[in-house]
Amino acid sequence: MFALRSIAGPVRAPACAGSRHRCVVVRAEGINPSIRKSEEKVVDMVKVADLPTPKAVYCRCWRSAKFPYCDGAHVKHNKATGDNVGPLVIDSTPAAAPQ
């Protein structure tokens, strides 16, 4: 998975050379700085019946020291970058019966 960042301004990319049209260069960056980098793809699967607690909180910012669980590292990441990422919360408690 990659984040895309557009670069616009005085830099002229080779693909834009000679173009009379406005040119935008899009560069892909990795979003995972350190988690299980030796694996080709980081995949985790948990059966709902096996959740450690009725509410399980999973990291989506790739900064947690307890990955795949959220440890709150997204707060520091958001403050440093202006990003707005947060965890995925799986609530396995039964839904209230309709009245």
Contact residues: ligand FES, CB under 6 A: 59-61, 63-64, 70-74, 85-87
Rounded to whole angstroms, the Cα distance separating 58 from 76 reads 16
Q: Minimum CB separation from ligand FES for residue 1, in Å? A: 14
Task: Pick between residue 25 and residue 85 the one whose CB is nearest to ligand FES.
Answer: 85
Task: Pick between residue 25 and residue 60 the one whose CB is nearest to ligand FES.
Answer: 60
Q: What are phi and psi of 15, to 5 degrees?
A: -65, -20
Q: Is 76 a catalytic residue?
A: no
Task: Pick between residue 56 and residue 64 the one whose CB is nearest to ligand FES.
Answer: 64
Q: Minimum CB separation from ligand FES for residue 86, in Å? A: 6
Q: Minimum CB separation from ligand FES for residue 61, in Å? A: 3
* 31-51 CB burial, b ≥16 within 10 A, e <16: eeeeeeeeeeeeeeeeeeeee
Q: Give yes or no for a contact between 46 and 88, defined as CB atoms under 8 angstroms apart.
A: no
2 bridge partner residues = 30
Would you name the residues annotated as active-site residues? 41
